[in-house]
Amino acid sequence: MSVPAANALLAERIPLEGSGPVDATRQRRVVERLQRILEPDCLLYREEDTRPFECDGLSLYRQLPMVVALPRDEAQVVAVLRACRELEVPVVPRGAGTGLAGSALPHAAGVLLSTSKLNRILSIDANARTAVVQPGVRNQAVSEAVAGHGLYYAPDPSSQIACTIGGNVAENSGGVHCLKYGLTTHNVMRVRAVTIDGDVIEVGSAALDAPGLDLLSMVIGSEGMLAVATEVTVRLVPKPAQAQVVMASFDDVGRAGEAVAAVIAAGIIPAGMEMMDRAATAAVEPFVGAGYDLEAATILLVESDGTSEEVAEEIAAIRSVLQKSGATRLTVSQSEAERLRFWAGRKAAFPAVGRISPDYYCMDGTIPRRSLAKVLSAIREMEGRFGLRCANVFHAGDGNLHPLIMFDANDPDSSQRAEAFGFAILELCVEVGGTVTGEHGVGVEKVHQMCLQFDRTTLDAFTAVKRAFDPPGLLNPGKVVPSKARCAEFGRIHVHGGNLRFPDLPRF
């Protein structure tokens, strides 16, 4: 579990909206109202019942919700939202709570609306290659349910065993295969959702488009701030007949980055293309025994999938490109077991780092790949400057970087240095033309960094989009879009702390 203590330090200095103790009088009023809608076991308000909901995957931010509502059907969702609108109570939607950015952090004066009882697969249409599911259905459960038809749901975030489709829609989740198969937004056709007014809306459709503006694009990735999903139509794709992976070693990170570019330049879009630096492989190898080359500065995993003919052709092309790009060692998986073993190390990178350090702070920036060598050498330099180690795993195909900063949360100085280290990395991502979050979302964790990436007019436009869906601003308030005052306060503390390395950064 990632323990990003660092930003909590900042949160202590600039308190988040909706933090604090629960007001018992207000709680009683809301509970009395919701008791008319929900069965007793679907309405939690005693501390021992609400405590398990106090955080999501960003566990250092904790806040006891005033009330937890667990509606069983869409009619109850409508009724709960109408009641909250009438009582002016904020609503925080929550799926499985695996998110890493605190998007589902509860509100002290609000209702946490859990979709966990909306967990049915409503229909599977193998002929149309679609499934209609409720938001609380787990990502992996969809693929399991349709496997018999030779189909699967492509987005595979690392939490796919536990995370829900509703949560994926809220976060626009990615995964290791999104270079070829896309993000959630490319694999969801329609979302049925309830607005804070209690109106049921449908965005997208069972066809390939819908009339009007593409509201589906706005809803996907909106972190539960625009509407609460009650049904999602997902696109299913044929399961590839075969997959194979090439593992390549490089003695220089820059050369590995050039190799990735060379694969793309050769007209190949691999099913997955992942990179791990030596700190990451050193952490992982004793843990899983994946057979990684520990001498290499960096290893690359490049996967091809498709028909057996396609895979054979592509693997040969990938091998040849990597060889010409200066790979010092090349291994092609010869069996499904070997392929899974190569991947096991990559997938275990986070827990493996968790074993060698008391805590780690997982960053999530995206950079243009051409800046890889520059960014990684800057991170290397920052390790010295901040006195902390950092392992790097990287979705190399799409430029999504996950530096894992190792620190000790029990040591305030170490936490503070981890915070500054993380900020420096994200600033660098923005400076080289990237983004402060590739796939984990903004939530509360990156709400301050939004001030670095966007100018005020664009942030105000985001607020206007929110108000178009949610006029009273009650759905998941305080997340994603920082207020003007918050940016000003953040700027003051941040610059005074001396950490803002690029105060004249062009904002975009």
Partner 1 sequence: MPGTEPRSDATAGDDGDRRVADLVARVRAAAAAGEALQIQGGSTKAFYGEPPTGTPLPVGGIAGIVAYEPTELYLKARCGTPLAEVETALAGSGQVLAFEPPHFGDTATVGGCVAAGLAGPRRATAGGVRDYVLGVTLLDGRGDVLHFGGNVMKNVAGYDVARALAGSLGILGVLLDVTLKVLPRPPEEATLRFAVDETTALARLNQWGGLPLPLSASAWHDGVLHLRLSGAVAAVQAARRQLGGDVVERADADAFWRALREQQHAFFGGGAPLWRVSVPSTAPALGLDAPQLIEWGGAQRWLRTSAPAASLRARVASVGGHATRFRGGSPDGAVFTTLAPPVAAIHRRLKEAFDPQRIFNRGRMYPDL
Q: What is the DSSP letter of 222?
A: S
Per the CB < 8 A criterion, the answer to whether 260 and 326 are in contact is no
Q: Which is nearer to partner 1, 51 or 456 (CB)?
A: 456
Q: Which is nearer to partner 1, 1 or 200 (CB)?
A: 200
Q: Which is nearer to partner 1, 307 or 377 (CB)?
A: 307
How many helices, marked H, and strands, marked E, lie in the chain? 19, 19
Cβ 477 to partner 1 shortest distance, Å:
15
Give the DSSP H or E segment for 504.
Answer: none
Cβ 147 to partner 1 shortest distance, Å:
13
Cβ 47 to partner 1 shortest distance, Å:
33
Cβ 436 to partner 1 shortest distance, Å:
6
Q: Give the Cβ contact number of residue 498 at 10 Å.
A: 8
**Could you give the residue ranges of the DSSP H alpha helices within 348-473?**
349-356, 372-386, 412-431, 450-453, 456-469
Cβ 113 to partner 1 shortest distance, Å:
19
Q: Which is nearer to partner 1, 125 or 411 (CB)?
A: 125
Q: Which long-range CB contacts under 8 A does 73-79 form with residues at least 24 apart?
A: 73/118, 74/118, 74/192, 74/194, 74/200, 74/230, 74/231, 76/37, 76/38, 76/42, 77/113, 77/118, 77/194, 77/228, 77/230, 78/194, 78/198, 78/200, 79/37, 79/198
Q: What's the CA gap between 449 and 183, in Å, rounded? A: 23
Cβ 508 to partner 1 shortest distance, Å:
5
Per the CB < 8 A criterion, the answer to whether 69 and 104 are in contact is no
Q: Are strands 121-125 and 329-332 parallel, antiparallel or unpaired?
A: unpaired
3-state secondary structure of 453: helix
Task: Judge residue 423's burial from the number of C-beta atoms within 10 Å of its C-beta, 0-12 exposed, 13-18 middle, 19 or more buried.
Answer: buried
Token pair 């003919």 in the structure block, residue: 309
Q: Which is nearer to partner 1, 223 or 277 (CB)?
A: 223
Per the CB < 8 A criterion, the answer to whether 266 and 317 are in contact is yes
Q: What's the CA gap between 219 and 228, in Å, rounded? A: 9
Per the CB < 8 A criterion, the answer to whether 322 and 302 are in contact is yes
Cβ 102 to partner 1 shortest distance, Å:
14
- Give the residue from 143, 111, 112 showing the smallest Cα distance to 129: 143
Q: What is the DSSP letter of 164?
A: B
Sign of the four-CA dihedral 211, 213, 217, 218: negative
Give the DSSP H or E segment for 329.
Answer: strand 329-332
Q: Which is nearer to partner 1, 294 or 461 (CB)?
A: 461
Q: Which is nearer to partner 1, 178 or 393 (CB)?
A: 178
Q: What's the CA gap between 270 and 304, in Å, rounded? A: 5
Q: Which is nearer to partner 1, 128 or 488 (CB)?
A: 128
Q: Which is nearer to partner 1, 236 or 352 (CB)?
A: 236
Q: Which is nearer to partner 1, 242 or 331 (CB)?
A: 242
Cβ 278 to partner 1 shortest distance, Å:
24
Structure token pair of residue 388: 């902390």
Cβ 255 to partner 1 shortest distance, Å:
14
Q: Which is nearer to partner 1, 239 or 380 (CB)?
A: 239
Integer CA distances (angstroms), 266 to 314, 315, 325, in order? 10, 12, 12
Cβ 500 to partner 1 shortest distance, Å:
18
Give the sheet arrangement for strand 43-44, strand by strand.
43-44, 67-69, 111-114, 91-94
Cβ 473 to partner 1 shortest distance, Å:
13
Cβ 112 to partner 1 shortest distance, Å:
22
Token pair 């664009």 in the structure block, residue: 458
Residue 154 pairs in a beta bridge with none
Cβ 311 to partner 1 shortest distance, Å:
9
Q: Which is nearer to partner 1, 252 or 313 (CB)?
A: 313
Q: Which is nearer to partner 1, 411 or 491 (CB)?
A: 491
